[in-house]
Structure 1
Amino acid sequence: RTIFTSQQLEHLERAFNEARYPDVYARELLSARTDLPEDRIQV
């Protein structure tokens, strides 16, 4: 189970509002911004 910080949630929610199904590039960018593994960034 992953527990997100408020900053991580902010990044993830903003990205989801822009694109409901992020592509590989968007997931990698989010991974770098949130310090989460890319495979944890999913719909």
Structure 2
Amino acid sequence: MIAVLEMRSPQIAQHLGISAVAVRSRLHRLLGRLRKELSRE
């Protein structure tokens, strides 16, 4: 599916890749906060 997007429009595929990385980093931060909060209790 990603390969098809790259063939059709490299810009769209590139944007999706960047947004995916951003979402992953945000999730990692949130999980880190949750773990700290849980460890306190």
Give TM class, smaller chain.
Answer: 0.3 to 0.5
- What TM-score do you get using the length of structure 2 for normalisation? 0.36
* Higher RCO structure, 1 or 2 (CA under 8 Å, sep 6+): 1
- What TM-score do you get using the length of structure 1 for normalisation? 0.35
Q: Which has the larger radius of gyration?
A: 2
